[in-house]
Amino acid sequence: MNIVYVYADSEEEWNCSEWRCAVPARAINRTRSHHAELVSLTDFVAMRQPALSTCKAADIIVIQRNLFGPVLSAIQHWKARDKTVIADFDDAYDRIPPSHKNHAFWLQGLLPPEPASGSKAMRRINPPPIEQFRWGLRLVDAATVPSLRLADDWRQFNTIHLVPNYIELSRYQDIPREPHEGIIIGWGGSLSHLQSFTDSAILTALRRVCRARPEVRVMINGGDRRIHERLGIAQNQCILRPWVTIDRWPQELAHYDIGIAPLHGSYDDRRSWIKVLEYSVMKIPWVASDRPPYHEFSSYGWTVNNTSKAWERVLLDMVDHIDDHREEAARDAYLFGISKGIDGNIEKIISTYQQIAGIPEMARGG
C-alpha cells in the first residue's frame, strides 16, 4: 500500500506535521511492507512535480487540516481518479478562543493586508475557512483525529477514526538530564496556550510555590512572552526559552525536574496527550489538569482540578519529595509512555487506513 501525507506546516512552524505526517510516514517505511511519502500542501494544490507523480502512485492520500480553497478542488480531482482521500486534523477549529492567533483566520476568514499592496485593510476569505472545512469533511472518504472529543464533534459530517499521536521513541532515548541548581518546573508550547494558563489557576499556584520555595524556577519554552509576563514571579526564578526545532526539543525537556500541562475550556479538551506522553518517556514527574486529553495517563502522574490550591498542593509535594517522584516516573509511568511508541502501534494506523479504503480484513497485509 502506498500512502501520501500532504503536510500543512511551514518549516518555521513545523510541529503538528511532524506528529501527524512525518512520524507515521517513517514508521510505515520501516515496516518494509508498505510505503509512505511526504508532499507539501503547496505542491499538492499546484500539481507540481514530483508531488503529482507521487499522488498518482498513491493508494491513499492523507491531507492535513487545511480543507479550504483550492484544496477542495484537489480532493475532488484525486477522488475522481479512485484515490482514497483522508482528512487528518488535530485541533478544534470551531472552538478557537479569541486569544489564539488563528481565531480571526478560521472563524472570520481574516488575513493580514497584502504586503506589496500598501493597503492596511484586512483581507477576507468568504466563506470563512471553518465553513469550507465542513464542506471538505463531506468530500473526503473519512477523517482521522487524535482526540475522542474531536471525533464526536465531527461525526455528523463523515466517519471519524481515532488515530492517537504516537511517539518516535528514538528521539527521546539516551538524553542526559541537564545539570542545574534548584528545581525547574517546565512547560513548552506554541502561542495557542495562553488561555490554558490564565484560566486554569496555575499562574497563582506557581507564584505561591516560587515564594514558598526560593530554589524553584519556572521555565517556559516556546517564546510566548504573554505567559512569561503573567507569571508575576521574581526575575531570577523565571526562565523564558525560545522555540527550538523538533530535534532539539528533547534536550530542552531534559532541564525539567517537574513537567506541567495546564488545560482549560472546550478548545483544550480537544487537544491530544502529547505533553504528558513526552514527560513520561523522559521519566519526568508531571502534573496536569484533570481534563479529557490526559485521562488515559491519570494513573501515571498527577491530575488536578483547576484551582490554585490544588495545583499548589501537588507542586509543593513534588518539589519537597522530588527524588520519590522521580523514582515513580521511572517505573510504570515510563513503561506506559513507551507503550505509545509509533513502531509498536503503526499496524493500527495502517489497519485504519485499509478499513477506510475498503480493503477486506482477510486481504490486509504486505
Q: What is the DSSP string of 125-194?
A: -SS-HHHHHHHHHHHSSEEEES-HHHHHHHTTTS-EEE----B-GGGGTT-PPPP-SSEEEEEE--TT-H
Is 117 within a domain? Answer: no
Same domain, 161 and 220: no
- Check residue 364 and give its pLDDT: 65
Is 19 within a domain? Answer: yes
Same domain, 63 and 178: no
- Check residue 48 and give its pLDDT: 97
Query: For the chain, give me the number of helices (H) and strands (E)?
Result: 18, 14
pLDDT at 67 over 70: yes
Is 198 within a domain? Answer: yes
pLDDT at 74 over 80: yes
3-state secondary structure of 344: helix
3-state secondary structure of 240: strand
- Check residue 99 and give its pLDDT: 85
Least confident among 31-40, 160-169, 187-196, 339-348: 187-196
Same domain, 332 and 356: no
pLDDT at 362 over 80: no
Task: Report the percentage of the chain scoring pLDDT > 70.
Answer: 98
- Check residue 112 and give its pLDDT: 83
- Check residue 346 and give its pLDDT: 98
Task: Calculate the average pLDDT of the chain.
Answer: 95
Same domain, 147 and 44: yes
Under the banding of pLDDT at 50, 70 and 90, the label for residue 360 is: confident
Spatial CA neighbour of 250 closest among 18, 11, 5: 18
Range of the domain at 149: 2-110+127-166+342-363
Is 319 within a domain? Answer: yes
Instruction: Take residue 183 and report the three cell numbers written for it.
Output: 528545581
Task: Report whether 319 contacts 258 (CB < 8 A).
Answer: yes
- Distances 327 to 111, 267, 280 between C-alpha atoms, Å: 49, 33, 12
pTM value is 0.95
Under the banding of pLDDT at 50, 70 and 90, the label for residue 365 is: low
pLDDT at 366 over 60: no
Residue 65 belongs to domain with CATH number: 3.40.50.2000
Spatial CA neighbour of 150 closest among 267, 20, 241: 267
Spatial CA neighbour of 197 closest among 226, 170, 223, 219: 226
* Position 30, amino acid: R
Is 17 within a domain? Answer: yes
Give the bridge partners for 143, in sequence order: 87, 160
Spatial CA neighbour of 286 closest among 314, 249, 310: 314
Residue 137 sits at φ, ψ, to 5 deg, of -65, -30
Same domain, 28 and 93: yes
pLDDT at 359 over 90: no
10/203 Cα distance (integer angstroms): 31
Same domain, 318 and 347: no
Same domain, 45 and 77: yes
174/215 Cα distance (integer angstroms): 27
Instruction: Take residue 163 and report the three cell numbers written for it.
Output: 488515530
Sheet holding 302-304, edge to edge: 238-241, 216-221, 183-188, 258-261, 286-289, 302-304
Give the bridge partners for 209, in sequence order: none
Task: Report whether 136 contacts 68 (CB < 8 A).
Answer: yes
Convert the pLDDT of each residue in 231-245 to its tens digit: 999 999 999 999 999
* Position 341, amino acid: G
The secondary structure element, H or E, covering residue 2 is strand 2-7
Contact partners, residue 107, CB within 8 Å, separation at least 6:
93, 94, 96, 128, 130
Same domain, 145 and 181: no
- Check residue 223 and give its pLDDT: 85
pLDDT at 324 over 90: yes
Spatial CA neighbour of 19 closest among 218, 274, 298, 224: 274
Calculate mean pLDDT across residues 202-219.
Answer: 98
193/289 Cα distance (integer angstroms): 13
Count of structural domains, the chain? 2
Is 121 within a domain? Answer: no
Same domain, 103 and 206: no
Convert the pLDDT of each residue in 30-47 to its tens digit: 999 999 999 999 999 999
Spatial CA neighbour of 310 closest among 185, 182, 200, 213: 200
Under the banding of pLDDT at 50, 70 and 90, the label for residue 210 is: very high
Q: What is the CA radius of gyration of the chain?
A: 22
Task: Report whether 54 contacts 36 (CB < 8 A).
Answer: no
Spatial CA neighbour of 87 closest among 16, 140, 151, 156: 140
Same domain, 308 and 356: no
Same domain, 151 and 268: no
Same domain, 227 and 293: yes
pLDDT at 120 over 80: no
Instruction: Take residue 152 and report the three cell numbers written for it.
Output: 464526536
Is 90 within a domain? Answer: yes
Under the banding of pLDDT at 50, 70 and 90, the label for residue 363 is: low
Is 115 within a domain? Answer: no
